[in-house]
Amino acid sequence: MKTMMQKARQAGLAGLVGIGLATLPVVSQAEWVEWVGDASATAKYRYNLNFSDFDETAQEDWVVEGRASYGRFYQAAENTRLGIMGHATALVHERFDKLNGLISGVDLVGIHKFGLGSGAPVLRAQATAENLDIRDEMRDGRRLAGTLSLSKRFTDRLDGSISYTHSQRYGHRGNAVAGLGGADTDVFNHRQELLGLSGSFLLTERSLLSFGYTRLEGEFATQCPGAGIVGILLLNNEIKGAAVDTVFDETCTYKVEGDVNTYEVGYSYFLDETTSIDLGYQFRDGKAGTLDYTSYDLSAGISILF
């Protein structure tokens, strides 16, 4: 029986073909039409940012995140546009400064609107390639991702979207953990599939409540204080790799395959047409074999559209 992710992957492929076909009858005045951009600055409190299985070793930190994107759209057909965007995110941590870095990349976007009016469904396909330049070398790397989303405004106040993402992260190899010499050290090579549901509801003309759920299936990294337990888990084939982690006090980071459910809720208040104050809460519940961990982020920031 096909899994939900397999079905999502097939739907994604069908969507990409759909956008391609919709773009074929190109309008005679097809041209570059619009520059778009946005920027945000966000302060986050992150609890268990090391995704530790053990509460006593869960780490917390404050992070300031500055993000910007800018790009241009090409109107390919009456209801279809293509875009190219550049994006960059700078990360500054208060305690774990080896996690500071710059993530930058390019997005290729195809958008098709099924009809006329604000209630018409919108299909969006996006390919992302980005470079992760993190102070901790093991976390450096590249990431490639493809996302397909379908969104719709149901009423003047309520909209929703569903999305599927396939992501592949390529990290650097780390140093082997003493006593676990045979284990792979590519703990930041991750293959992930994500299925997302999100929506937003206008509370007033200026304030927006947003909510989302994402299910991740695939590989991710977690961290623990000692090699002993990792060795046991390796024997049980629950861990796919382990390496010394110099970010969190010379401990061990290991790669697992499992799933993470992320729940989020946000509130935005618009100071004017393009600038908003944003508050957010995100809770993650990860499971991989016998491992089980939770983490959350609280955030406050300001966003502006260009």
Partner 1 sequence: MTMQIRIWIGACLSTLLATGALAGTLEVTVLNDQNEPVENAVVYLLAGDHAKPGAGTEVIKVDQVEKKFVPHVSAMQAGSSVSFPNFDNIRHHVYSFSPARKFEIPLYEGIPADPIQFPEPGIVALGCNIHDWMSGYIFVAETPWFAITGKDGAARIEGVPAGPHQAEVWHEKLRGKPQKTRQQVQVTDSGATTAAFSIRQKKVFSAFRGAASRGGGYR
Q: Does 265 bind partner 1 (CB under 8 A)?
A: no
Looking at the Cβ atoms of 32 and 54, the one nearer to partner 1 is 32
Main-chain dihedrals φ then ψ at residue 98, nearest 5 degrees: -70, -10
208 and 200 Cβ atoms separated by less than 8 Å:
yes
Among 13, 17, 33, 197, binds partner 1 (CB under 8 A): 33
Looking at the Cβ atoms of 204 and 290, the one nearer to partner 1 is 204
Residue 169 CB, shortest distance to partner 1, in Å, is: 24
Rounded to whole angstroms, the Cα distance separating 93 from 63 reads: 4
132 and 145 Cβ atoms separated by less than 8 Å:
no
Q: Does 98 bind partner 1 (CB under 8 A)?
A: no
Q: Does 268 bind partner 1 (CB under 8 A)?
A: yes
Q: Find the binding residues for partner 1 in span 107-146 (CB under 8 A).
A: 111, 113, 116-118, 120, 122, 124
Residue 299 CB, shortest distance to partner 1, in Å, is: 15
Contact footprint for partner 1 (CB under 8 A):
27, 29, 33-34, 36, 75, 78-79, 81, 111, 113, 116-118, 120, 122, 124, 149, 151, 153, 155-157, 159, 161, 198, 200, 202, 204-206, 208, 210, 268, 270, 272-276, 303, 305
